[in-house]
Amino acid sequence: MEKIIPAKLVKGDEIRVVAPARGIKIIGQETRDIAAKRFAAMGLKVTFGKNTTDENWDRMGSSSIEKRVEDIHDAFADRNVKAVFTIIGGANSNQLLPYLDYNLIKANPKIFCGFSDITALLNGIYAMTGLETYSGPHFSSLGMLKGCDYTLENMQKMLLNDGPNRVEASAEWSDDLWFLDQQKREFIKNDGYWTLHNGKAAGTLVGGNLGTFVLLLGTKYRPAFEPDTILFIEDTEGANIADFERNLQALLYQPDFANVNGLLIGRFQKGSKVSREDLEFIVSNKRELKNLPIIANVDFGHSTPLLTIPVGGTAILDNGNITLEK
């Protein structure tokens, strides 16, 4: 596959916010205002897809497929727009994959950023066009008043700056419902990366939210595990150790998994009750993982802060150290 790397953002650029799953009314006004100010501080102009405020939600908390697709197409077709950010995740962005105009997207490459349920679009777009996408903060993620510095710093390194990003573990993390009370926060000291297997590897990044990524198995929207693939996966609070293990096993069954030469695992939320010992047990019982460098408790997933990880970009794993390249 010929890869397409979107241009970096510069001051004065316009970003478009779209809602591939849930709409903007789920986001409080304070959160919206803080996020908009954060982008403005970077010199970026924020505009919204015309259907993001649609009040005609379906049972999934979304507008129609047609309206969600229209906003994505409009964003890619608009030459003034240099990046597309999702408002938030949800549960049904994979519905959009057959309806997207991949020729339009390929002809107008630009940054596309989000995470969680948006994993379906990040990987689908990359698989169908070769366009590098970004598993990183939603627009709403930047509406966090406190504890956002690490997320912002790493987003800017990937989307605005050139050169590799040697990723250091955050000093602290949080798993609280920050959007309900921006002042009352709980931060937890980070004990750093968990190196489950030492070793060195370099390759192309694919992955994201595990529960969403496995929905792409058997479809053309799942990027092939080409030689020297680095897989990165995380899961939600609702996924326990058994859910994680069986979904991981589904990936190991893929004929091209033999091309994966490294694994990154994002931080688990407290509610999942997944420990380092749990992960060590799983890894020790997977012969397919025996010789792979594996680093867990990395700053991506459904806790905060968040890294920005390029789907289709390059990762270098070096005995517990991580470098991301665009």
Active site residues: 116, 234, 302
DSSP 186-244: --EE----EEEE--EEEEEEEEEEHHHHGGGTTSTTSPP--SSEEEEEE--TT--HHHH
Residue 38 tokens, joined: 């954060």
Where are the strands (E) in the chain, listed by range? 14-18, 45-48, 81-86, 111-114, 133-135, 165-167, 172-173, 188-189, 194-197, 200-209, 229-234, 260-267, 294-301, 309-311, 314-318, 321-325
Q: What is the number of other CB atoms lying within 10 angstroms of the CB of residue 164?
A: 15
Tokens found for residue 85: 């950010």
CA distance linking residue 311 with residue 318, whole number of Å? 19
Instruction: Find how far residue 55's CA is from the centre of its chain.
Output: 27
Tokens of 127: 């698989």
| Cβ count near 188 (within 10 Å) | 12
- CA contacts within 13 A on the Cβ side of 140: 20
> How many Cα neighbours within 13 Å face the side chain of 253?
9
Neighbours of 219 (CB within 10 A): 13
Report the candidate in 248, 204, 254 with the shortest Cα–Cα distance to residue 227: 204
> Is the backbone peptide bond immediately before 305 cis, with ω within 30 degrees of 0?
yes
